[in-house]
A and B are shown apart, each in its own frame.
Chain A
Amino acid sequence: MAVTREDVLHIADLARLGVDGARADALTKELSAILAHMEVLSAVDTASVPPTDGIGAEGTPLRPDERVSPLMERTLESFAPAMRDGFFIVPRLATHEDPAESGA
């Protein structure tokens, strides 16, 4: 199944990855070539085969449903770009959002 340039730009948008025009062309070829190798799977009969949706190794236990404090040995301030009153400061949605994007 060949990937189109539009596909690449669409999934880049979904993945929040900025991809410029030249890179989009290269990625279209690369992803199409990689996915061509996946076609072999379509010939495998899996109609009665359940999917492996977790490795689920035997012996994996449930723990008591209780709150466990993260073992933080350094403060949030030590790595966060900005904090105030115990909260992360992030770019403001309301004033920074592109009007065209937000539908305003």
Chain B
Amino acid sequence: MSVESFGKLGAAAIASSVRAGDASRSDMIRASFERAREIGAGPDGLNIYLHSDEQASLEEADAIQKRLDSATDVGVLAGVPVAIKDNIASLGLPTTCGSKILAGYVSPFEATAITRLRASGALIVAKTNMDEFAMGSSTENSAYGPTRNPHDVRCVPGGSSGGSAAAVAAGITPIALGSETGGSVRQPAAFCGVVGVKPTYGRVSRYGLVAFASSLDQIGVLGRTVDDAALGLETIAGFDKMDSTSSDVDVPIYRLSALGGLPPDKRGPEGVAMESIRIGRTSVPIPPPPSASTLEGVVIGRPKEYFPDSLDASIRDLCERSLDRFRSMGATIRDISLPRSPLAIPVYYILAPAEASSNLARFDGVRYGLRVDPGKGLKAMYEATRSQGFGPEVTRRVLLGTYVLSAGYYDAYYKKAQAVRTLIGDDFRSVFSSGVNAIFTPTTPTTAFHVGAISDPYEMYLNDIFTVTANLAGVPAMSVPIGRVRRLPVGGQIITAHFDEYTMFRVAYALEASLGAEAHQ
């Protein structure tokens, strides 16, 4: 298989080719690593991977090939190379969270999401670069240097899952895992011209995801296409007893390729046939199988707060083009309001640092990771370890979080932000209960910016302005490519109600099919 053709294959096509015996797992590993070399993914180039071991990956692929050669069920991701953000615990490769404080750390256990990928036949090839502990919107905060955007190496790939987005955009892997706390999958997906999904809070197990802000964190999927992302999410979603916040909610099939045209009792060879999904004690009907050509009966909300006068006119035009396509496919576009959305950045940058200041207390040099001991007592060891191990943004956020939780400021900041978070969630509940099936917005207010262009911390935080509300409300959201501005990709965001990823993918499939090549022009 040529490296060029590999770079254009979707996950389903790779798995199909491996299942049919047209290519081996080793062929796929070799093609992935060759593509990485060709594109210059190393530390002197795009700096996409923090940890990878080609020889070990080839040996693993050979071993699996021999074991499963005669097996009939070898998984929906058979032989698909997948890259993993470096804050998701993996066996075999280190998990450093892009931080010096965890340099060389290899987890003794594996994240449930990775275990499920492996069980479906996927091959884990690398851990990707990221903003340290997922704190950032550009991947410039990595202790191991910034990742560069494959579309323009002068630009950032977005963040914090910038390495995963760049790996997919560069054609190294068709699927990568990232993580979201405030937009860290969708924003880099938009900047890199790929698809990025943040599932409903509780949809995917957080077991093995290094905690940043536990009430917001979710593992997400980056894919070259909507189908890649749907396949990835189907694989990792579902209840996990190892995560007490994991939800016991049915996972329907999201893939158009597995659903299209088939009656409900014959949907897909791998998944569960369902006409309704169970959420708690209630059963919610699933709409008809998605089609790439119709959105009849779907109501899509256009929230005015996400189309401010200050929005880049070219990005606005691309969003309006997408809304026109929805109309032409039969959807109804309704002007809506999410009035508390402008408060989301202040709320997020109180709550997330507060939770982080607690979660990151565990990195103290005692049990694992870096230890710097000046020999002046335990407290001095803590301080030396943490000040040398954490970078500037992590330090800033831990201090911010400690401040808003400290006596005298707790009510004014933390408690207030928790209450306003409730109001932000109420906005979404109100819109979805009024008959709106999906919300469409730009994913980001700008395209990718140059490395080093933003030095003011709050200006960087504003990158999350359109994405952070979905994390605060816990609803699913995804970014899909909708065109380019000055040769750089632009993402459109689709948001749906809790656990309604099905409708989100339905709308995304339709938009992707309607735009075709225009999504990348």
Q: Which residues of chain A have a CB within 8 Å of any CB of chain B?
A: 1, 3, 7-8, 10-12, 14-19, 27, 30-31, 33-35, 37-38, 40-42, 44, 46, 49-55, 57-63, 68, 70-76, 78-81, 88, 90-91, 93, 96-98, 101
Contacts and interface: CB of A to CB of B under 8 A. Distances in A.
Nearest to A97: B377
B343 A40 contact: yes
B386 A17 contact: yes
Contacts of A93: 378
A9 to B, nearest CB: 10
Given A38-B349, A70-B109, A96-B377, A60 B247 contact: yes
A97 B378 contact: yes
B421 A52 contact: yes
A30 B413 CA distance: 17
Contact of A57 (B200, B398, B421): B200
Contacts of B361: 15-16
Given A41-B420, A49-B419, A78-B108, A34 B215 contact: no
A51 B418 CA distance: 5
Interface string B357-382: 10001001111100101011111111
Given A30-B396, A41-B347, A57-B247, A76 B381 contact: no
Nearest to B372: A18
B412 A73 contact: no
Interface in B188-225: 200-202, 215-216
Given A44-B340, A61-B248, 7 more contacts: A16-B382, A17-B390, A42-B412, A58-B247, A59-B248, A71-B110, A78-B106
Interface of B: 91, 105-110, 200-202, 215-216, 239, 241-242, 244-249, 279-280, 340, 343, 345-347, 349-350, 357, 361, 364-368, 371, 373, 375-384, 386-387, 390, 395-396, 398-400, 402-403, 406, 409, 412-413, 415-423, 425, 456-458, 461, 472, 474, 498-499
Contact of B346 (A38, A54, A80): A38
Contacts of A33: 456-458
Contacts of A52: 215, 418-419, 421-422, 425, 472
Contacts of B383: 16-18
Contacts, number: 208
A16 B362 CA distance: 11
A65 to B, nearest CB: 11
B422 A49 contact: yes
Nearest to A72: B108
A62 B246 CA distance: 10
A41 B417 contact: yes
Nearest to A38: B346
Contacts of A70: 109
A53 B245 CA distance: 13
B108 A59 contact: no
A98 B387 contact: no
Contacts of B409: 1
